[in-house]
Amino acid sequence: MAPPVAPEPTYSDQDNEEPKSKSGIYIGVLVALLLILGGALIWFLAGSDGTEKVAVPSVVGLTQTDAEKALKALDFKVESTTKESDTIEAGLVLEQDPNKDSLAPKGSTVKLVVSSGTEQVEVPDVTGRSQDEAEKILTDLKLLPRVTTEENADVTAGNVIRQNPEPRKSVPAGSVVEIFVSKGAGEEIVPDVKGQPLAQAQAAIQAAGFRFANPTREPSSDVPEGSVISTDPAAGTSLKTNSVIKIVVSSGREQVKVPTVTGQNEDSATSTLKGAGFNVEVKPKSVASDDPNANRVISQTPSGGDTVDKGSTVTITVGVPTAATTTSSSTSSTSSTTEP
């Protein structure tokens, strides 16, 4: 007896169509997802209100004008503010918001920060102030003081004489301001101007760094009128520059009145004239022994009361008595000069 044979399996049309149906489902789902993603992308790009979004360009480093032009060409609005910068030239864009390549709705605002350049500072006036005070004022304003000292007789030692740059000039923060600080007066040697005409002496005194007071005048028998007799301090003295030097100028010889000595004996007249500062010249003149002018001054030149140079010579004529004789004789006269 033959073994039973298993019947061959049979497939219905429904079994053959099942894989095809699943593939269609997968494709449909995929298409639906793509449609959803595409719609979401369109919604994102267009915005929830349907506004189109655009990639924001990079405008950092452009001038403010060029940056605004580029943004407005893409229908963006622009709002600009400024900020100081030590590294970026004034007028160039430092920052932007939104950043480059960000998506932003057309018509939205892009904020720019534009460089105003280095901070500018107005230089203060520190002349006349002490060095410490001037340095503090400058450093508080972000300026760098640089000190140079020099001799100056007009400004107190330790105070500022002048500055560079000048006050009220606008400079970048961190700039150097040079201040010139007084060391006080230096010293120079008083020049020797004795015997020089006044104008020449004054010029020499100024050239040495000194000032001069109005001159005083004194008579002098040695120094010509209008020339310098002396200075105070004296020539050769070490003195602070810009100090005042007093000048004494000759007014010429002293003028004095001649004493009247006629009628006096020779010794008395000579003593009087010498006491007044005159030289005396005696000229004898023969007179009779009984003449009232015997041994007395008969005349004088210059006359008493005349005003003449002190130290000049006064000539006196003195009567010399002679004895009476029976024979004629000649009498010789001599003169002598004495100095005071």
- Domain edges within the chain: 53-115, 120-182, 187-250, 255-324+332-338
Q: Residue 330: pLDDT band by 50, 70, 90 thresholds?
A: very low
> What whole-number percentage of the chain has pLDDT above 90?
69
Q: Residue 33: pLDDT band by 50, 70, 90 thresholds?
A: confident
Q: How many CB atoms lie within 10 A of CB 170?
A: 10
- The Cα-based distances of 165 to 1, 138, 150, 170 in angstroms read 132, 12, 18, 9
SS3 content of the chain, % helix, strand, coil (to 5): 20, 35, 45
Q: Which CATH architecture has domain 53-115?
A: 2-Layer Sandwich (3.30)
- Confidence at residue 47, expressed as pLDDT on a 0 to 100 scale: 52
- CATH for 187-250 (3.40.50.300, 3.30.10.20, 2.102.10.10, 3.40.50.2300): 3.30.10.20
Residue 324 has pLDDT above 70, yes or no: no
In this prediction, residues 63-67 reach a mean pLDDT of 96
CATH class of the domain defined by 120-182? alpha beta
- Within this chain, domains 120-182 and 187-250 share the same CATH topology: yes
**Residue 295 in 3-state DSSP?**
coil
- Confidence at residue 327, expressed as pLDDT on a 0 to 100 scale: 46
- Confidence at residue 331, expressed as pLDDT on a 0 to 100 scale: 44
- Confidence at residue 254, expressed as pLDDT on a 0 to 100 scale: 86
> What whole-number percentage of the chain has pLDDT above 70?
82
- Enter the pTM of the model: 0.42
In this prediction, residues 295-317 reach a mean pLDDT of 94
248: CB partners within 8 A, 6+ apart: 215, 216, 217, 218, 228, 229, 230, 231, 232
The secondary structure element, H or E, covering residue 241 is none
Here the tokens at position 283 are: 């000229």
* CATH 2.40.128.20 assigned to 255-324+332-338: no
Q: How many CB atoms lie within 10 A of CB 285?
A: 15
- Confidence at residue 153, expressed as pLDDT on a 0 to 100 scale: 81
Q: Residue 337: pLDDT band by 50, 70, 90 thresholds?
A: low
Mean pLDDT of the chain: 87
